[in-house]
Amino acid sequence: MTVKEAIERSASELNNIENPIREARMLICLATGLSLEEVIVKEDRCMSSEQVEAFNKVLARRVAGEPFAYIAGEKEFMGMKFSVNKDVLIPRPDTELLVNMAAGRETTVLDLCTGSGCVAVSLARLMPWAEVTAADVSEKALAVARENAVKNGVKIEFIEKDILKGKIKFDKKFELVTANPPYIESGVIQNLMPDVRDYEPSLALDGGDDGLKFYRKIVNDAENFLEEGGRLCFEIGCDQSKAVVEIMKKKFDNVTVTRDYTGQDRVISGTLKKFSEDLLKDHDHGGHRARFKARYISQGLDGFEPHEVLELILYYAIPRQDVNAIAHRLIKRFGSLSAIFDARIHDLMKYGELSENTAVLLNLIPNLSRVYMKDRWKEKAILENTYVAGRYAIDLFVGAQYEEFYVICLNSGKGVIRSEKICEGTINETPAYPRLVVETALKNKANSVIIAHNHPSGSLKPSWSDVEFTNKIAIALENIDIELVDHFIIGGDKFTSMSEGGYMDRRAR
């Protein structure tokens, strides 16, 4: 039998299946070990008797209605291969939306009703910094899930647990919980397609009389296993969104419904509301702090919300108190994280209701940043082009709340000899600036000079006074054979080069 004859035969026997030609080719690949490309290109190839026998067996299984994934023993999901058998549901493309919506910056993840482990394994791959736990009632399903974790190179803790019996509790609480629970109504299961009804495990399909019993149970017990403010993400049946939203609203904020690529409601997520006062007393602040610290160690501050950054800092000034409420209060009072850091110590104590130690710590942040930036450049500050020089100048103004003026003295190789702040205040208010620039350049034996000042408003456009002032300094330095290389105007994390902008023509004064 040739490959072409096998395709024609199997296609005719699989005529009730969508795209029978493709299915036939895949069965031939499975039986012969040939690639799909070889099957398509070399249809005249003769199959050996062993290959024909193997093909007949897999074809018979498929004609009987057994899903191809069970015959093949694996299914692709999120670009990975997952082992599957009749103990687990076959991963569906729809569930990839659950993974994509759930993946975030959390450090502890729980996947309930894990089945093949496709969601848990995918999240472990997408969130390598996170500790992932997966739970299922079926010991056989967990065996498959463990195999898939090893197969895809991730470490997951697997727990056998019947979440319908007693309160859902674990040894710890999690920042993110996902679940693709059984959601088919019990009375509807017999009406499902034969390849689902007759082959996939009913334990993973049956969601009770209305299909919602797992959603109710998970939401009702959520505060026992989910951190306050933690996220819960469900996959749902296409007609269940309204009912699940109503269930979640009792305990969750920011309840959101996301549609799949066919336009059907598919994923619902929300964040757990604040605990009651009794539960709050028992909340494990130490564990929460440890997870925050571990999250920072593994990924830096990327993905941290402003209040979370503030919490992380406050941990070191307020050792035995929940600082989440304090962080939110400060941001609401001052308006932003930067405004808090820029505030005076007295104002932080008075309006932020902080101790002097805490206020000093917060006020120290931008000043430490500036010292760090200057020190970082110390051994390698060669301002060989405009971009490097501009970035160097930006770092001089980290945390500056008022207009400041710097002179950057350079040697013959454009290396920084010294950067010196000579004044604060608007530059057109101090006629002595040209003299101060010259004195600074001479004192540091500079071959050339760059000057820089900031606009706290963020504006990068030079004013008329900026241009006039720059040309006066250029002439003053020229009289002592020192070149004014550039004048940078700094606004936030951006700069304007007056040299490149054509503003340093002294004849225009």
Are the C-beta atoms of 283 and 320 separated by less than 8 Å?
Answer: no
Number of continuous H segments (helices) and E segments (strands) in the chain: 22, 14
Assigned token pair, 437: 């620039």
Q: 229 to each of 57, 103, 225, how far by Cα in Å? A: 53, 16, 12
The domain total for the chain is 4
Sign of dihedral through CA atoms 98, 101, 104, 106?
Answer: negative
For residues 195 and 264, membership in a common domain is answered with yes
Q: Which residue has the higher pLDDT, 158 or 466?
A: 158
Order of strands, edge to edge, in the sheet holding 483-491?
A: 416-424, 404-410, 448-454, 483-491, 494-497
For residues 60 and 129, membership in a common domain is answered with no
Find the domain containing 453 and state its range: 380-508
For residues 224 and 358, membership in a common domain is answered with no
pLDDT band at 280 (very low <50, low <70, confident <90, very high): very low
Per DSSP, what are the bridge partners of residue 83? Answer: 74
Judge whether 279 lies within some domain.
no
Taking the CB of residue 300, how many other CB atoms lie within 10 A of it? Answer: 9
pLDDT > 70: what percent of the chain?
Answer: 92
Cα-flanking dihedrals φ and ψ of residue 3, to 5°? -60, -40
One-letter amino acid at 108 equals: T
- Contacts of residue 217, Cβ cutoff 8 Å, sequence gap at least 6: 163, 164, 168
Among the candidates 231, 250, 273, a domain finishes at 273
For residues 184 and 267, membership in a common domain is answered with yes
Q: What is the pLDDT of residues 320-330, one digit of tens each?
A: 677 888 888 89
Q: What is the pLDDT of residues 485-499, one digit of tens each?
A: 999 999 888 899 999
410 CB-contact burial (10 Å; exposed 0-12 / middle 13-18 / buried 19+): buried
For residues 333 and 448, membership in a common domain is answered with no
Judge whether 280 lies within some domain.
no
For residues 249 and 153, membership in a common domain is answered with yes
For residues 266 and 324, membership in a common domain is answered with no
User: Average pLDDT in the 224-246 region?
Assistant: 93
Q: Are strands 174-179 and 108-112 parallel, antiparallel or unpaired?
A: parallel
Distance CA 451, CA 504 (A): 12
Decide if pLDDT at 197 tops 80.
Answer: yes
Decide if pLDDT at 263 tops 80.
Answer: yes
Q: 7 to each of 55, 82, 404, 449, how far by Cα in Å? A: 10, 27, 79, 79
Are the C-beta atoms of 359 and 345 separated by less than 8 Å?
Answer: yes
Distance CA 58, CA 66 (A): 9
Distance CA 480, CA 470 (A): 16
Assigned token pair, 301: 């501050």
Distance CA 10, CA 23 (A): 8
SS3 label, residue 326: helix
Query: What integer pLDDT is reported at residue 291 of this predicted model?
Result: 74
Per DSSP, what are the bridge partners of residue 497? Answer: 488
Are the C-beta atoms of 421 and 405 separated by less than 8 Å?
Answer: yes
For residues 240 and 99, membership in a common domain is answered with yes
Nearest to 85 by CA among 147, 151, 152, 161: 147
Judge whether 14 lies within some domain.
yes
Contacts 24+ apart (CB under 8 A), 30-34: 30/58, 30/71, 30/72, 31/55, 31/57, 31/58, 34/3
Q: What is the mean pLDDT of the chain?
A: 85
Among the candidates 347, 372, 397, a domain finishes at 372
Q: How many residues does the chain have?
A: 509
pLDDT band at 425 (very low <50, low <70, confident <90, very high): low
For residues 298 and 353, membership in a common domain is answered with yes
Q: What is the CATH number of the domain that holds 266?
A: 3.40.50.150
Distance CA 59, CA 383 (A): 71
Q: What is the pLDDT of residues 440-458, one digit of tens each?
A: 999 999 999 999 998 877 7
